[in-house]
Amino acid sequence: NAGVTQTPKFQVLKTGQSMTLQCAQDMNHNSMYWYRQDPGMGLRLIYYSASEGTTDKGEVPNGYNVSRLNKREFSLRLESAAPSQTSVYFCASSDPGTPIGYTFGSGTRLTVV
Amino acid sequence: DAKTTQPPSMDCAEGRAANLPCNHSTISGNEYVYWYRQIHSQGPQYIIHGLKNNETNEMASLIITEDRKSSTLILPHATLRDTAVYYCIVRVDGGSTLGRLYFGRGTQLTVWP
């Protein structure tokens, strides 16, 4: 009963480095999402995937790319990290079309120095 | 654009009911009202949702006004563990934005002994 699993939990990057945040869900959900949360702010949608094989931009997509590898996995890549991308990143999944709640992961705390 | 307005903070005595208001005056007829909460920067947790009618589950009750322009989340007997940021969200549905959630800054609820 893992739900949504994110790795890593913590990461420190130097400016210009790249990395991929991993997310996997075991609930057979069709849709998956990446959000970021800055201090004192609500969550902002970066990218989402309504179903396997599709991805679309959210509110703040610049500087990020995503891959929906299969139905279970949705990764977020930072090609050239910037200090402005220091944030907590949350992955979530849901089934669209039915009014059920989202399930969120526990987050990845990323610091770019 | 979060489409909802919530007070930034509220407090409540332990054991008393906590009533958290939310305004969503531009809500569309097919949009649901969702409530989530976030404890200590963990991943947000689903609480309850509704369309028109009042709803109740083991965690809370949701009261939606007849014109659907506002709602109230009720925690009937608040405990210290209910201290969290509570988000009221209108669920955008349909088309390219299917299932996406937009978060505002929420209400910081502090339950005191």
3-state secondary structure B59-70: CCEEEECCCCCE
Task: Identify the residue among B103, B105, B107, B108 best suited for mutation to test binding to A, counting A beta carbons within 10 A and taking the highest.
Answer: B103
- Average of per-residue pLDDT across A62-76: 96
Q: What is the pLDDT of residue A41?
A: 81
Mean pLDDT of chain B, nearest integer: 89
Q: What is the per-residue pLDDT across A6-57, written as a single tens digit (0 to 9) for each? A: 999 999 999 999 999 999 999 888 889 999 999 878 889 999 998 888 999 9
Which residues have C-beta within 8 Å of that of residue A1, sequence separation ≥ 6?
Answer: none
Q: What is the pLDDT of residue B93?
A: 57
Q: What is the pLDDT of residue B96?
A: 46
Mean pLDDT of chain A, nearest integer: 91
Per-residue tokens: A4: 């949504």
In the structure, what pLDDT confidence band is assigned to residue B82 with cuts at 50, 70 and 90?
A: very high
**Residues of chain A positioned with their CB less than 8 A from the CB of B41:** 37, 88, 107
Q: What is the pLDDT of residue A40?
A: 78
β-pairing, B107-112 vs B9-13, is parallel
Question: Rg (Cα) of chain B, in Å, rounded?
Answer: 14
Is residue B30 within 8 Å of residue A99, measured between CB atoms? no
* Higher pLDDT, residue B91 or A5: A5
Q: What is the pLDDT of residue B92?
A: 64
The answer to whether the Cβ–Cβ distance between B46 and A101 falls below 8 Å is yes
**Residues of chain B positioned with their CB less than 8 A from the CB of A42:** 2, 87, 103-106
User: What distance in Å separates the CA atoms of residue B66 and residue A79, rounded to the nearest whole number?
Assistant: 49
Q: What is the pLDDT of residue B68?
A: 93
The answer, yes or no, to whether residue A87 has pLDDT greater than 90, is yes
Among A96, A99, A102, beta carbon nearest to B98: A96
Nearest residue in chain B measured CA to CA from A47: B100
**Tokens 């005056």 label which residue?**
B25
Q: Compute the residue count for chain A.
A: 113
User: What distance in Å separates the CA atoms of residue B26 and residue A22, rounded to the nearest whole number?
Assistant: 36
Nearest residue in chain B measured CA to CA from A88: B41
Task: Identify the residue among B41, B58, B85, B87 best suited for mutation to test binding to A, counting A beta carbons within 10 A and taking the highest.
Answer: B41
